Structure 1
Amino acid sequence: MSAHRSWFARALVACAILAAATALLGWYLYRQSGRTPGELLDYADHRMDGHPVVETLAAPVMHLLRSTFGAPSVADRARIRFVIPPPPPRRGASEIAPPERMPPGARVWRVSPDGPIRRIGEVARLARDGDVVEIEAGDYHQDVAVWEQARLTIRGVGGAARLLAGGRNAEGKAIWVIRNGDFDVANIDFIGARASDRNGAGIRFEGGRLRLRRCLFWNNQMGLVSSNDNPAPRSELIVEDSEFAYSYVDGQHWGHNLYVGSMRALTVTGSYFHHAGIGHLIKSRATINDIRYNRLTDEVGGRASYELEFPNGGVAHVIGNIIQQQIGTENSAVVSFGAEGYKWPVNTLYIASNTLVNDHPYGGTFLRVAHGSGGVVSANNLLVGPGGYQVADRLTVVNDVRADWEDLRMPARQDYRLARTAARTAYQPLSDEFQGARLTPDAQYVHPHTTRRLNGAPSLVGALQDQPP
């Protein structure tokens, strides 16, 4: 009996040592992976799928781990209600973009709730190339349109014009379909787009050049969607001082705030992206990307995957942005580059003077770059929260600085200005080697959606140059 007990005790000790070693190895691999516990558990579920015996045996452990780390399963997440608040109050005359110079020889068409032309869809058929369409402030219900002019200016006047889809869409795609022209659109709100293919967008941009100023995209299945240019990229999208929020389909499908297909160029400045439902705040397949002085914050209740993704690479400048990942994220990486394979001749990422925040307590990755890129330059970024960089190729880092939560003024309310400074948070001027890449910021984001020029050179790392009180 004594020998039996001795053998049993040794077996228990061996099992305990093995369990401890396995736990330590698992913890080490988890820390090295840059993934959140939820992602790793989802992967384990996927690997066990189709093996009922293994699933049954592992179920208690999986349940314990998910409870411990607050990581619901895919099925449980699909049942979580994505709360979409009402849109903000319609902006008044003082809150919209001022009119720009009238194109020479342009005819002005006026749409108003009580005027001769009351429907936007009607003026979309009447307007000719080079005209100006002015839409008086007000709510326009179920008023969808297809725009096919070669050149057109469309702007809300006297305040924002709110387009409420109310179950209607143009061509089964969007509130507006803009096709193969040069369009300037300002002061329009796109709200509530739905379509049977689950890609109902505020705008479907199908080629040409589109510039947006002071527009709002709220509670659409997709905020703005652009088509792919075939065979060669030629289109351009410019987004200025606009807001994209609460894009959502249902519990199992992507709802991107901004989805850009294969086109020549994307430029985004002074804009506010937040609260995407499972999809990304910005996803761009463009060959040239310039993302400057924006706020990309998923915030409480958000369920975005990537905050910023360039799935096919290209040349991307990410300068002076506030980018935050929420605990409810569907993906551990904040910024992703090349995840779906590189498509363009040049694939280089420049990421500088950003404030990158990870609110997930159990890990994550600030930057994930797939193998095959032309290299990454990261300079003067402020990193807050757990995580690091996962870059498979050449990475050049210049003066990226980590900060603790107490170094910030009020991070729980997305106020990521430095509460105090030190020598380590000082901006480091870049050598001539990097100046051609335009990595030095000359402005900063100002909430809710605009920018302010800097008075001189930047003095602090990160996106915000406000000196502590």
Structure 2
Amino acid sequence: MKRLLFTLAPATAVALSIAAIPVLAQDEAPGITVPELRETFSSVQDAVDAIGDGEGTILLAPGSYRQCAVQTQGVVHFRSTQPGQAVFDGVECEGKAALVLRGEGASVDGIVFQNMRVADRNGAGIRLERSNLSITNSYFRNSDQGILTAPDEGADVTIDRSTFSRLGRNDGGPSHSIYIGGYRSLTVTRSRFERGTGGHYIKTRAPMADIRDNTFDDTLGNESNYMIDLSAGSSGTIADNLFIQGENKQNYSAFIAVAPEAQDHSSAGLVISGNTARLAPGVERETVFVADWSGERLAIGRNVLGPGLTAFERR
């Protein structure tokens, strides 16, 4: 069970860091620097614009950032100088997200995104519209969505050691903790998903998915849906994750859904193995671990399933 302790670590570490975020005076701005340019800026947008079509790192000092930014070119690395203490709080650009990314690539490290809500119910910490994105040690919470993307069939999304909490809308959105559109691939490792407030924890239309060593704790979820939704079919691997399904579900019929909306991509050979799945304490119902609409041969290995769970069902 050492793996389970490890997957819980990101959520704990970030939560402890957030408690120490300094309170700034109303006219005081946290420090924003670009070391490659040896410059300091008063806004994240100014820093992004200064990097332009080059490549640079934006270092964010501890504090609450009531601002947002749009990247249209170049490669930008957004990094907190102290993980968990730089917070984008409640301000969205273009009615979309705190960071709207459509440059040549981006990475995000150690940053918190919270309270992102917009009129179309798709407010996100990050709206990714093109190019590769790598996210590490970051925290998305209390928003319509954590991450939402447009399609880019030649690019990849990678998420590691991050936490997604109290995300989604159950009032007609719908929205999700993560919704990856038609990207080439999605990789999610060593991350935690919890307290979903509608929609799926991971929804992806990418043809390749690698989802390993994560914790999906739906114990305190509110009107949540599938934990993993491979909407249009995917190959790849879902392995060594912990899944706990809670009581208050919008849809409790399955933990993992394969091609429930379309069969745009092959799911043949999709590996689902080494996972542990169970119902939360006190929950009694019959449900299915993997529900498959693809009709293809999946590679379902040994998974440890609690009472009330059927391993597989073709629909």
CA gap 1:379/1:345 in 2 versus in 1, 3 angstroms? closer
Of the three residues 130, 133, 150, the one matched with 2:58 is 133
Report the secondary structure of 2:125's partner residue. strand
2:68 alignment counterpart: 144
Q: What is the letter of the counterpart of residue 107 of structure 1? A: E
Q: What is the letter of the counterpart of residue 140 of structure 1? A: Y
Report if the CA contact (8 A) 2:197-2:221 is conserved: no
Aligned-pair CA distance for 1:335: 0.7
Higher gyration radius (CA):
1
Q: Does residue 320 of the first structure (1) align with residue 248 of the second (2)?
A: no
- CA deviations over 1:330-376 (Å, ceiling 9, x no partner): 21211110101210245442111110113341211111011432x11
1:219 alignment counterpart: 142
Q: Does residue 355 of the first structure (1) align with residue 276 of the second (2)?
A: yes
Q: What is the letter of the counterpart of residue 92 of structure 2? A: N
- CA deviations over 1:151-184 (Å, ceiling 9, x no partner): 222210034311101xx31111111101142212
Residue correspondence of structure 1 range 57-68 to structure 2 within 5 A: none
Taking the aligned partners of 1:309 and 1:161, their CA distance within structure 2 comes to 31
1:23 alignment counterpart: none
Q: What is the letter of the counterpart of residue 132 of structure 1? A: T
Residue correspondence of structure 1 range 202-213 to structure 2 within 5 A: 202-213=125-136
Taking the aligned partners of 2:72 and 2:250, their CA distance within structure 1 comes to 37
- CA deviations over 1:211-253 (Å, ceiling 9, x no partner): 0011110111011001123xxx112100010001111335343
Taking the aligned partners of 1:326 and 1:209, their CA distance within structure 2 comes to 34
Taking the aligned partners of 1:366 and 1:345, their CA distance within structure 2 comes to 20
Instruction: Give me the identity figure in percent.
Output: 25
Report the secondary structure of 1:299's partner residue. coil
Taking the aligned partners of 2:93 and 2:196, their CA distance within structure 1 comes to 23
Q: What is the letter of the counterpart of residue 172 of structure 1? A: G
Residue correspondence of structure 1 range 298-313 to structure 2 within 5 A: 298-313=218-233
Of the three residues 257, 270, 281, the one matched with 2:190 is 270
Q: What is the letter of the counterpart of residue 284 of structure 2? A: P
Q: Does residue 284 of the first structure (1) align with residue 284 of the second (2)?
A: no
1:234 alignment counterpart: 154
- Give the TM-score taking structure 1 as reference length: 0.57
Matched residue pairs, number?
Answer: 284
Residue correspondence of structure 1 range 339-354 to structure 2 within 5 A: 339-345=260-266, 347-354=268-275
- CA deviations over 1:380-399 (Å, ceiling 9, x no partner): 21101202134439xxxxxx
CA RMSD of the aligned region, Å?
A: 2.2
- Give the TM-score taking structure 2 as reference length: 0.84
Unaligned runs of 5+ in 2: 1-13, 21-34
Report if the CA contact (8 A) 1:358-1:364 is conserved: no
Aligned-pair CA distance for 1:265: 0.7
The structure in which a higher percent of residues are strand is 2
Q: Does residue 155 of the first structure (1) align with residue 79 of the second (2)?
A: yes
1:386 alignment counterpart: 308
2:108 alignment counterpart: 185
Taking the aligned partners of 1:277 and 1:234, their CA distance within structure 2 comes to 31
Q: What is the letter of the counterpart of residue 263 of structure 1? A: Y
Taking the aligned partners of 1:303 and 1:139, their CA distance within structure 2 comes to 30
Aligned-pair CA distance for 1:302: 3.5
Unaligned runs of 5+ in 1: 1-86, 94-105, 111-115, 394-469
Report if the CA contact (8 A) 2:120-2:173 is conserved: no
More moved, 213-222 vs 325-334? 325-334
Once superposed, which parts of structure 1, at least 4 consecutive aligned residues long, lie more than 4 Å away?
A: none
CA gap 1:163/1:90 in 2 versus in 1, 3 angstroms? farther
Taking the aligned partners of 1:162 and 1:224, their CA distance within structure 2 comes to 15
Taking the aligned partners of 2:64 and 2:79, their CA distance within structure 1 comes to 14
Report if the CA contact (8 A) 1:254-1:277 is conserved: no
Taking the aligned partners of 2:17 and 2:301, their CA distance within structure 1 comes to 39
2:48 alignment counterpart: 124
CA gap 1:146/1:177 in 2 versus in 1, 3 angstroms? same
Taking the aligned partners of 1:109 and 1:249, their CA distance within structure 2 comes to 42
1:99 alignment counterpart: none
Of the three residues 258, 279, 292, the one matched with 1:369 is 292
Instruction: Compare relative contact order (CA 8 Å, sep 6+) and give the higher one, 1 or 2.
Output: 2
The structure in which a higher percent of residues are helix is 1
Q: What is the letter of the counterpart of residue 269 of structure 1? A: T
Report the secondary structure of 1:323's partner residue. strand
Taking the aligned partners of 1:346 and 1:376, their CA distance within structure 2 comes to 7
Q: What is the letter of the counterpart of residue 265 of structure 2? A: W
Report the secondary structure of 2:46's partner residue. helix
Taking the aligned partners of 2:265 and 2:294, their CA distance within structure 1 comes to 14
Report if the CA contact (8 A) 1:245-1:273 is conserved: yes
Report if the CA contact (8 A) 1:223-1:258 is conserved: yes
Report if the CA contact (8 A) 1:261-1:286 is conserved: yes
Residue correspondence of structure 1 range 161-180 to structure 2 within 5 A: 161-165=86-90, 168-180=91-103
Report if the CA contact (8 A) 2:233-2:294 is conserved: no
1:428 alignment counterpart: none
Q: What is the letter of the counterpart of residue 335 of structure 1? A: I
Report the secondary structure of 2:120's partner residue. coil
Aligned-pair CA distance for 1:148: 2.0
Taking the aligned partners of 1:329 and 1:132, their CA distance within structure 2 comes to 41
Report if the CA contact (8 A) 2:59-2:81 is conserved: yes
